[in-house]
Amino acid sequence: MPANTWLSVSQLNRYIKSIMEQNMPLRDVFLRGEISNFKGQYASGHFYFTLKDKDAAIKAVMFRSYASQVRFTPENGMTVLVRGEVSVYERDGVYQLYCREMQPDGVGDLSLAFEQLKKKLSAEGLFDPAHKKPIPRFPQVIGIITAKTGAALQDMLNVLGRRYPSVVVLVRSVLVQGEKSAADLRSSVRQMDELGLCDLLIIGRGGGSLEDLWSFNDEALAREIYRCKTPIISAVGHEVDFTICDFVADLRAPTPSAAAELAVPDAKELQTMLFSAERQMQEKVTARIRLLESRFGNQKRISDSLAAKISHLEEKLRGYENHQALKTPYYTIEKAQTKLDLQKKQLLNQIELRLEKETSRLGKNAGILDSLSPFKTLSRGYSAVSREGKHIISVKQIKKDDIVRLQFHDGAATAKIVGEE
């Protein structure tokens, strides 16, 4: 075979690539498939993944210039619709899909991106109620971050002027939609907070489509609001509209006008409350005065009563000053000693009388005991008979030849029974 018929691998791959690039149907392909092996290269910004269905798969790449326009984060297992062209990657000799557009299948990319970011920030704690700052009840200066030409600003200014005319309003005009609006909103929040002039900030705009409100779903803006030291009310769109800004702010208002109402109290209601409180206070003071008058009479009676009480106390004090105990230091001691001596004498007399009484009682009881004593009976010629420690009181208790003990008043003797009489 002639040498000039041999091709290099590069030449072959380049030839196949040129054929595929000349095939017009492959230049603009629409595919539906499931993402797998997804690799988001954060440094380069490129997406590398495989697009597959139940029977086949194709490698795919989406370069940064196109990937940066994707609103949501592609994930493995997600079914997507992609548009691109099929070509050959010369180095590896494989054909792959070069994607230019991507959107989720069955749901809008903005809706999916919103839910993904909401879930992410919630997991990080940016929506935690414990982090939310209280809204001041009587703000003196309010900062409004919105478009100066929008109807939302005029609505808020009208409500604030009607409800709380004394409040000072600082307006920071910003872009509220478009490519540069998110960055403008972030820098405005940071600047207003760093100035430290406002007691409260309101960020918002009027209603619009999800695309129109998308700047308020910016992740960096949400983090800026979370870091803000000044309390923030979010007032984006209509009552049915929700943005990430609403969830991370300290308070969400359904509309810009509602935000103004939530930001300040109603001056007329405050005036009515003050008048009512003043009237109640006057009524309480009047009732108190009447109560005092009913208890103490007029002022002269009160003065006389106090003067009499003071005079009585002064007289009592003079009596203490002239007391013998203050004039003679040992007076109290001598008085107590005299009382103690008297009580001692009385106690000794009582003891002596008690001893005499008890002695007499003891003698009387001793005479009675003596008269009842068995030895007294024995002294008159009687004796007590016992056998083996038991007293004999009947002739039936003894028999012939029994040995008994005879107890006399001056001693004892032993006897033997010889018979009965």
Percent of the chain with pLDDT over 90: 34
Question: What's the token pair of residue 361?
Answer: 């009682």
Contact yes or no for 217/120 (Cβ under 8 A): no
Q: Concatenated DSSP letters for 373-402?
A: -HHHHHTTT--EEEETTEE--SGGG--TT-
Model pLDDT, residue 190: 95
Model pLDDT, residue 26: 87
Q: What does the pLDDT read at residue 269? A: 86
pLDDT digits (tens, 9 = 90+) for 34-72: 888 888 776 788 999 998 888 888 999 999 999 988 888
Q: How far apart are CA 217 and CA 220, in angstroms?
A: 9
User: Which amino acid belongs to residue 96?
Assistant: Q
Convert the pLDDT of each residue in 255-282 to its tens digit: 999 999 999 998 888 888 888 877 888 7
Distance between CA 137 and CA 76 in Å, rounded?
49
**Mean pLDDT, the chain, integer:** 83
Q: Show the 3-state SS of 59-80.
A: EEEECHHHHCCCCCCCCCCCEE
The pLDDT score that the predictor gives to residue 107 is: 64
Q: How far apart are CA 176 and CA 152, in angstroms?
A: 11
- Asked if residue 260 lies in contact with residue 163, where contact means CB atoms within 8 angstroms, the answer is yes
Alpha carbons within 13 A on the beta-carbon side of 17? 18
CATH numbers and ranges of domains, the chain:
3-106 (2.40.50.140), 115-129+138-265 (3.40.50.261), 377-416 (no CATH)
Question: Cα(47)–Cα(63) distance, rounded to whole angstroms?
Answer: 6
Give pLDDT, residue 161. 92
pLDDT, tens digit, for every residue of 193-208? Answer: 999 999 999 999 988 8
Distance of CA 287 to the CA centre of its chain: 42
Choose among 11, 26, 8: nearest CA to 87.
Answer: 26
Q: What is the pLDDT of residues 324-344, one digit of tens each?
A: 555 555 566 677 778 878 888
**N-to-C CA span, the chain:** 180
Using CA of residue 317, residue 319, residue 321, residue 323, what is the dihedral sign? negative
pLDDT value for 21? 81
For residue 264, with 0-12 CB atoms within 10 Å meaning exposed, 13-18 middle and 19 or more buried, which class applies?
buried
What pLDDT sits at residue 295?
A: 67
Task: Quote the pLDDT of residue 175.
Answer: 94
Q: Between residues 339 and 182, which one has the greater pLDDT?
A: 182
Residues 230-237 have a mean pLDDT of: 94
Mean per-residue pLDDT for 67-93? 86
344 or 249, which is more confident: 249
**Would you state the structure tokens that stand for residue 202, as one six-digit string?**
């309101």
SS3 373: coil
Residue 372 CB neighbours (<10 A): 9
CA distance 249 to 392: 119
Residue 290 has pLDDT above 90, yes or no: no
Nearest to 103 by CA among 74, 80, 69, 126: 80
Q: Is 83 buried (19+), middle (13-18) or exposed (0-12) by CB count in 10 A? A: middle
Asked if residue 43 lies in contact with residue 96, where contact means CB atoms within 8 angstroms, the answer is no
Q: Is residue 371's pLDDT more than 70? A: no
